[in-house]
Chain A
Amino acid sequence: MKKITRRNFTKIIGATGTASLVGMPSLVFGASKKVVVVGGGFGGATAAKYLRKLDSSIEVTLVEPNPTYYTCPFSNTVLGGIKNMSDIAHGYGAMKNKHGVRVIHAKAKNVNGNSKTVTLDNGRKLDFNRAIVSPGIDLRFDSMEGYSQSAAEKMPHSWKAGPQTALLRKQLEAMPDGGTVLICPPGNPFRCPPGPYERTSLIAHYLKTHKPKSKIIVLDAKEKFSKQGLFMSGWDLHYGDLIEWRAGSAGGKISRVDPQNMQVETEFGMEKGDVVNFIPAQQAGQVARDSGLANSKGWCPVNQVTFESTLQPGVHVIGDSCIAGKMPKSGFSANSQGKVAAAAIVSAFSGSSPIEPSYANTCYSLVTPDHGISVAKVYKISNNSIVGVKGSGGLSPKKENVMTRQKEAEYAQGWYDAIVQDMFA
Chain B
Amino acid sequence: MKKTVLALLLVTITFLPHVVSATPDRGTLLSMSCAACHGTDGKSPGAMPSLYGKSSKYIETSMLNFLHGKRVGTVMNRIAKGYTEEEIKLIADHFEKIANN
Contacts and interface: CB of A to CB of B under 8 A. Distances in A.
A421 interface: yes
Nearest to B48: A414
Interface in B23-48: 23-26, 28-30, 32-33, 35-40, 44-48
Interface of A: 21, 24-25, 28, 49-50, 53-57, 332, 335-336, 339-340, 343, 346-347, 350, 352, 355-360, 362, 374, 376-379, 389, 391-394, 396, 404, 407-408, 410-411, 413-419, 421-422, 425
Contacts, number: 147
A422 B40 contact: yes
A393 B79 contact: yes
A415 B36 contact: yes
A56 to B, nearest CB: 5
A355 B31 CA distance: 13
29 contacts: A25-B18, A25-B21, A28-B15, A54-B22, A54-B28, A55-B22, A56-B18, A332-B36, A335-B36, A336-B36, A340-B29, A347-B24, A350-B23, A355-B29, A358-B83, A374-B74, A376-B79, A377-B82, A378-B83, A396-B75, A411-B47, A413-B46, A414-B37, A414-B46, A415-B48, A417-B47, A418-B37, A421-B45, A422-B39
Given A25-B15, A336-B36, A414-B44, A360 B21 contact: no
Main secondary structure of the interface of A (DSSP, over half): helix
B87 A355 contact: no
Contact of A421 (B15, B30, B40): B40
A418 B38 contact: yes
Interface in B41-98: 44-48, 74-75, 78-79, 81-83, 87
Contact of B79 (A340, A347, A357, A378): A378
B17 to A, nearest CB: 11
Contacts of B36: 332, 335-336, 360, 362, 415, 418-419, 422
